[in-house]
Amino acid sequence: GGGGREGRVEGHARRRARAPRMEGGMDVDAASAAPPAEDTAAMLAPQADAGAAAGEQQQSDPTRACCLKLLVGNSAVGSIIGKGGATINEFQQHSGARLQLSRNHETFPGSTDRIVLITGEINSILTALHLITTKLRADEQTAIAAGMGASVAGADGDVATNVQMRVVVPNQACGAVIGRNGATIKAIVDDSGAIVKASSTDATPPGITDRIITVSGELHQVMRAVCLIMQKCSEERSYHTFGNQVYTYHGQQAQVPALGMGGLGMGMGMGMGMG
């Protein structure tokens, strides 16, 4: 039954949260930054109509192997890796997922963004994603406070309430996420409350068969939307080999024009919400 599955998810998340902390790691305690067990269960629990429209007729399996590719600004890579690799090791230890980054010169074609590949069980990927996002938000707020002063950062601490993530998916899987007449992506938006936009094929550099799905909103909304996107992508056969390699665009990034993807900000393109 559904209750038993959620219980397993909660137990799994609690075990992850109890993992010992590594020394010399992050400013943010990974255990405290990990999503509460009930949040992980909620992200994976199918919702009524929206879940069905998003292709969740097959109940979501939190232990299913999956992958997620994120675009991350070059300036944020250091925050994710940490001194001597301490941060990325801690993220892997606490989440149970594997994290790999493209090399310094391996940027997504038409941009200066690096690729982060997260592989593992779906709930492990979500935990790693939560840890990465929390760390980047904390570092961004520290930089804002140090560089601009508290008056600009805002005394009420609402600077980084909005999060933006950019997920790379194969074109075929992107079509499945959008759905017939946009029905599936609308269901994901209705379910999660996040804003979800897929890049058009016209905006994709020549020879590139991958597209970018941009998800923005409150952290819990974005996490739920990304969970639904992963579940939908994993139904596509082409997605199963997608996580085999971090970088597949060798020789293509130098000869394409910039995509005009401005305003991505630091790292995951966190929305600053100053407007």
pLDDT per residue over 14-41, tens digit each? 444 333 333 333 344 555 456 655 565 5
Within 8 A by CB and 6+ apart from 66, the residues are 119, 120, 121, 122, 125, 230, 233, 234, 243
- Please say if the pLDDT value at position 103 is more than 90: yes
**Average of per-residue pLDDT across 241-251:** 88
What interhelical angle do 183-192 and 219-233 show, nearest 10? 150
Write the burial class of residue 271 (CB in 10 Å: 0-12 exposed, 13-18 middle, 19+ buried). middle
- Please say if the pLDDT value at position 7 is more than 60: no
Within 8 A by CB and 6+ apart from 56, the residues are 46, 228, 231
pLDDT, residue 39, reads 61
Q: What is the CATH number of domain 2-244?
A: 3.30.310.210
Please give the share of the chain, as a percent, with pLDDT higher than 70. 64
pTM: 0.72
Across the chain, what does the average pLDDT equal?
Answer: 76
Q: How far is CA 138 from CA 26, 141, 156, 258, in A?
A: 11, 5, 15, 29
Band of the pLDDT at 47, cuts 50, 70, 90?
very low
pLDDT per residue over 53-67, tens digit each? 444 444 567 777 899
Higher-confidence residue: 258 or 102?
A: 102
Within 8 A by CB and 6+ apart from 138, the residues are 27, 28
pLDDT, residue 30, reads 53
Name the nearest CA neighbour of 159 among 28, 27, 274. 274
Q: How far is CA 220 from CA 78, 110, 127, 214, in A?
A: 25, 30, 12, 15
> Sign of the C-alpha dihedral, residues 22, 23, 26, 27?
positive
Within 8 A by CB and 6+ apart from 9, the residues are 37, 40, 41, 44, 62, 123
- Which of 34-43, 217-226, 261-270 shows the lowest per-residue confidence on average (mean pLDDT)? 261-270
pLDDT, residue 75, reads 85
d(CA 87, CA 80): 6
Q: Order the strands of the 114-121 sheet from edge to edge.
A: 98-101, 114-121, 65-72, 162-170, 210-218, 195-198
pLDDT, residue 40, reads 59
Burial 179-196 (b: 16+ CB within 10 A, else e): beeeebbbbbbebbebeb
Within 8 A by CB and 6+ apart from 275, the residues are none
pLDDT per residue over 75-93, tens digit each? 899 999 999 999 999 999 9
117 forms bridges with which residues in the sheet? 69, 100
Higher-confidence residue: 251 or 220?
A: 220
pLDDT, residue 201, reads 87
pLDDT per residue over 112-168, tens digit each? 999 999 999 999 999 999 999 999 999 988 888 887 554 444 444 444 478 999 999
pLDDT, residue 262, reads 35
101 forms bridges with which residues in the sheet? 116
- Please say if the pLDDT value at position 1 is more than 90: no
- Please say if the pLDDT value at position 107 is more than 50: yes
pLDDT, residue 126, reads 96
